[in-house]
Amino acid sequence: MKNNKLFILIIISLILGIGLGAIVHYQFPDSIDAFSKNIKLLGTIFIRLVQMIIAPLVFSTLVVGIAKMGDMKMVGRVGGKAMAWFISASLVSLLLGMVLVNFFAPGKGTNIKLDVNDSAKELVEKTHDFSLEEFVKHVIPKSLFEAFATNEILQIVIFSILFGVALAAFSKKEAKPIIKLLDTTAHVVLKMVSYIMWTAPLGVLGAVASAIAKHGFEVFTLYAKYLGAFFIGIFVLWLLLLAVGYLILGKRLFTLLQRIKSPLLIAFSTTSSEAVFPKMVEELERFGCQPKIVSFTLPLGYSFNLDGSMMYMTFASIFIAQVYGIDMPIGEQLTMLLVLMLTSKGVAGVPRASLIVVVATCAMFGIPPEGIALILPIDHFCDMARSMTNVLGNALATSAIDKWESKPEHHEA
């Protein structure tokens, strides 16, 4: 019941946000900037409340998950299955983006004007620092406290895995107090999640009203071709993911979708898949996944399994090339796909991470990086679909791995 109430409140907020944003954009054009800036604060409050609990939740659940597995073979096996799923899903998503952008060619003969604004310049500048050295620094923590302070999920995951493995090496008697403490911490944080989630409708209202007030509905007509092709891509990707989910989970797939409908809608409205991470932990455990599998697979998924973002990366990069009239042979596109596969790992949790990766990749392949300015006006709306797809991909990956790791009777319960 609670889940349904929250879902209905989010839908109402979404509609109110669209209406409010449209009124400001079309009736009060002088107030657009001030309104967008102020109403966006509602979204900022919600996202920051969630970000506040992500680090302690990832650390406590992951360490307890690994320590409770106890068996290092199982950790390796679950990790291996998870990475095999993530790499396969990423390659399929990247390939789908590449096929569709070539088929629809939304960038050819376009009438979109290039306005290199401050956001585009900032992204291009950020990308100059994007190197192998930066990637390694982003992956391996220098300090646990710095990783906690900056919410670097991947760094927290790496520290937690090492800590969990070391804890599992102790005898049960020695490790018990620490496991108990972290287990209680995880439950306290999940209790906090249930409170914080009631601020989600306000966050949704703020994020949507701000975006519509700023861009209005004209942006959809100007970018109709681009958006149309991209949303067809997202639709096809959803069909693929759900088909694979049905093959593995059978009819339980519909129960899973029922469980994660609120997280999906929050991710869609706030353009943040990170914002629903704590809620996902709770819902997947309610769905029947083992806590130790959820706490191990889900944080990894948030770093390595971003299906919607992956599809967007090949799509956006080749779109910019099309607009500039750069003809990329298939061989070069496939090389770009592999480069994106590597550079995109470990940028999870970075706002607009996919855009930074797109700019870096464009520069590498001789496509003008300032072309990112072409897609910035519409990026918020693409980000809604990307975030929602990332959440679905991670829910399916975690449920599938849990099914493969479970005893048959566990799932009949």
pLDDT over 70 at 112, yes or no: no
The whole-number average pLDDT for the span 123-142 is 70
Q: What is the pLDDT of residues 174-189, one digit of tens each?
A: 989 999 999 999 889 9
Greater model confidence, 399 or 303: 399
* 3-state helix/strand/coil string of 151-200: CCHHHHHHHHHHHHHHHHCCCHHHHHHHHHHHHHHHHHHHHHHHHHHHHH
Mean pLDDT computed over every residue of the chain? 87
pLDDT at 409: 41
Residue 158: its pLDDT value, please? 87
**3-47 pLDDT tens trace:** 688 899 999 999 999 999 999 999 999 999 999 999 999 988 998
Domain range annotation of the chain: 54-186+219-412
Query: 3-state SS of 291-347?
Result: HHHHHHHHHHHHHHCCHHHHHHHHHHHHHHHHHCCCCCCHHHHHHHHHHHHHHCCCC
* Residue 106 to residue 282: CA distance in whole angstroms: 40
Q: What is the pLDDT of residue 397?
A: 97
The Cβ of residue 222 has, within 10 Å, a number of other Cβ atoms equal to 16
> With 80 as the cut, is the pLDDT of residue 106 above it?
yes
pLDDT recorded at residue 324: 87
Name the one residue in this structure whose structure tokens are 């670097």. 152
pLDDT tens, residue by residue, 361-384: 888 898 988 888 888 888 889 999
Query: What amino acid is encoded at 233 in this protein?
Result: G
The DSSP secondary structure of 43-83, one letter per residue, reads HHHHHHHHHHHHHHHHHHHHHHHHHHH--HHHHHHHHHHHH
Backbone angles phi, psi at 231, to 5 degrees: -70, -30
pTM, 2 dp? 0.87
Q: Say whether pLDDT at 59 is over 70.
A: yes
Higher pLDDT, 19 or 111: 19
DSSP state of 142: S
Decide which of 171 and 89 is more confident: 89
User: What dotted CATH number matches 54-186+219-412?
Assistant: 1.10.3860.10
Q: What is the pLDDT of residue 303?
A: 79
Residue 411, pLDDT > 50, answer no
Please report which confidence band the pLDDT of residue 335 belongs to, taking 50, 70 and 90 as the band edges: very high
Per-residue confidence (pLDDT) for residue 412, from 0 to 100: 40
